[in-house]
Amino acid sequence: MTANWAAFAAAEPALAKITEQRFGAFTHHVLATLRKDGSPRTTGIEVRFLGGELWLGMMPDSLKALDLRRDARFCLQANPGEGTGMGGGDVRVAGRAVEVADGEARAAYVKEVEPPQPFHLFRTELTEVVRTYVEDDTYLVAQVWQPGAPVRTLKRT
C-alpha cells in the first residue's frame, strides 16, 4: 500500500509538518536507491513539496535516476544539519518513485521550480515515514507512519 504526500499530510498533519520542516531546513539530502546488483547507492538530492506531492528532480541519465527507472524503491533521509542537535529529529521517507515524463504535473513543476533542462522528474508514493528524536535526554523516540495505519510511537531508554 502506498500514499502520496497529500494523503499522508491529511492522515498525519503534525508529523507531515515536522517532516516538511526538516527537509526545508537544508537544501541537500540523501537518497538511497538500488544498483543493478541490488546493493545500495546513496547520493545527494534536492526535494520539493508541491501540489500535494513530494518530488525528486535529477540530472539526465544520473545513476540515481537510472536506478529508480529499474527499481522504483527508495529511501530519502533529511539532512540532519551540523552537530548533534538535529532540531526536530531525524526524518526518513521511503517508498516508490514514479517517473513523470510529460503532462500537466511536469509542466506545473517546471513553472514553479525552473529546473535546468533536460531533467528527470519523479513523483513519490510513500510506504513509510519515520521520525526519530530524543525526548527529555532520556528516551529515544521513533514515530512510524505507514499508509492505512495511525502513527506508531516507540520509546527506548
**Domain span at residue 126?**
5-131
Query: What is the model's pLDDT at position 111?
Result: 93
**Residue 151: inside a domain:** no
Judge whether 105 and 54 are in contact, CB under 8 Å.
no
Encode pLDDT of 44-57 as tens digits: 999 999 999 999 99
Query: What is the model's pLDDT at position 22?
Result: 93
**Residue 123: inside a domain:** yes
Give residue 84's pLDDT band: very low, low, confident or very high (50, 70, 90). low
Most confidently modeled of 65-74, 113-122, 135-144? 65-74
**Residue 29: inside a domain:** yes
**What's the number of domains the chain is made of?**
1
Task: Tell me the whole-structure pTM to 2 decimals.
Answer: 0.92
- CATH at 34: 2.30.110.10
Tell me the residue ranges of DSSP E strands in 7-151.
29-34, 40-45, 47-50, 53-58, 73-77, 90-99, 120-135, 139-145
Give residue 82's pLDDT band: very low, low, confident or very high (50, 70, 90). confident
Query: Whose CA is closest to 77, among 35, 152, 129, 119?
Result: 129
